[in-house]
Structure 1
Amino acid sequence: MKLVVKAGGYLFPSEIDTGDIRRFAAVMRQLRSRGHDIVIVTGGGFKARQYIEAVRRLGGDEAYCDEVGIRFARLNALLLISSLGDDAYPDVPETLQRLRAYHQHGKIVVLGGLQPGQSTNAVAALAAETVGADMLINATDVDGVYLKDPKKDPSARRLEEVSVKDLMRIVLDEKVEAGGYKLFDPIAIKIIERSKIPTWILNGRDPENILRVVEGGKVGTRVTF
């Protein structure tokens, strides 16, 4: 299968845990060894949010904040490439055209942001569209989609499935600005909807969850059309 995996900011906290990155990379290598074709999109992580907030306080506009986030996401892509070693293509594509070219080499391709106005979730959706992915997996720091924030309401229940229209309603309740995207943003959802990309949102803190969902396990939340 062709897989696109979005590695959320949880993998890149204020103090980088190389053990977490190694565990994530080990699962990606395992998937590749089983014949899966993989593209990974990295988020900006804690440092990106920290710098974006500082830039905002210093007077930078949202487009400039996006540029800062893009650079951090690309740095995180380099971190992950370091851990993947020979399993990864050694460069970070900065355009979809380069993604197509690198993807032809049969190695794991890792990219970060592309251009202002797009979250890395939107980049992941575009990457899935570009390579004709069979599955898009958004590995985040929550177990899936909830109607209420599970970090604030312990009684919140995870949805096993959510329609793309309901997902849009949920994310429209969130504040969308540079560095603040969580589940998916409206642009990412529109891309998923137009190309009918099979999509799952799950907790990536246990990277084995990614293996489980690829193998057909009931993990996280599936987006339906």
Structure 2
Amino acid sequence: MGSSTHYRRILLKLSGEALMGSADYGIDPTVIGRLADEILEIQKEGVQIGVVIGGGNIFRGAGLQANGMDRVTGDHMGMLATVMNALAMQDALEKRGGEARVMSALPIHDVCEDFIRRRAIRHIEKGRVALFAAGTGNPFFTTDSAAALRAIEIGADLLLKATKVDGIYSADPARHADAKRYDHLTYDQVIERKLAVMDTAAIALCRDQRLPMRIYDMGVADNLKRIIRGEAIGTLVDPG
């Protein structure tokens, strides 16, 4: 851990939609490049990093189900989309001189490694960014749940969820001008108030393991670095 950093190891959750930038679909190379720069910048400060990326910019299982597709099939397609996003992030990191490994919850040996907890921790300790793909490997579980699970498995000090808003609000701030932004909440408050920040399974996992999480706006430059240095950016969710 660097002298100016407050965390030894973090798990960063990026939504697939975050990679689209201003586009309607796919990956914006400018956005993924900026995110790679930010990840490598905090890594240079001594922070060990695992990353979970969603697949909503390509496929979303629940959305496919709504259009008539079998949910399990749709979720498997969504898992494969997260592998594509993780490979793109690996490429962006390596082009900038970083080291990264994609580890999938679904076996795809010709493309990336299987997720093995001890190997993942070894990669992180060796200074590689571990990119965890294919969610939990199970249908009906979101990549939020995968992020909470992987954060706990690797012994992260903090789960960070990068979003397009600057924290958790009492209602959708895009629709409700009077929505209140929270600086701090407990896990139970998030669940009881049905605040749509992560799914309930992910929140419950973090609560049971007392893993703090912070939700922040990834669109603001240096937010990630400022959080790592201890600044209260976004909304903190912890035991209270």
TM range (shorter): 0.7 to 0.9
Q: Which residue of 1 aligns with 2:111?
A: none
Which residue matches 1:77?
86
Matched residue, 1:110: 131
Q: Deviations over 1:117-152 (max 9, x none)?
A: 211111111111001111110111111111111111
Q: CA RMSD in A?
A: 2.0
1:121 maps to 144
Partner of 1:98: 116
Q: Which of the residues 43, 60, 67 maps onto 1:57?
A: 67
Letter in 1 for 2:160: I
Conserved 8 A contact 2:49-2:129: yes
Higher relative contact order (CA 8 A, sep 6+): 1
Aligned residue pairs total 214
Contact 1:5–1:137 (CA under 8 A) maintained in structure 2: yes
Q: Does the CA-based 8 Å contact 2:216-2:233 persist in structure 1?
A: yes
TM-score (normalised: structure 1): 0.87
TM-score (norm 2): 0.82
Secondary structure in structure 1 of the residue aligned to 2:185: strand
| Corresponding residue number in structure 2 for 1:26 | 37
Residues 1:208 and 2:231 aligned together: no
Gaps of at least 5 residues in structure 1 are 175-182
Shift of 1:213: 1.1
Shift of 1:57: 1.9
- For the Cα contact (< 8 Å) 1:10–1:205, is it kept in 2? no
In the alignment, the residues of structure 1 paired with residue 219 and residue 188 of structure 2 have an alpha-carbon distance, to the nearest angstrom, of: 27
Give 1:100's aligned amino acid: R
- Percent identical among aligned pairs is 25
SS at match of 1:70: helix
Q: State the secondary structure of the residue aligned to 2:174.
A: coil
Q: Deviations over 1:46-74 (max 9, x none)?
A: 3213x7534542341x2222212111111
Work out whether 1:12 is the aligned partner of 2:51: no
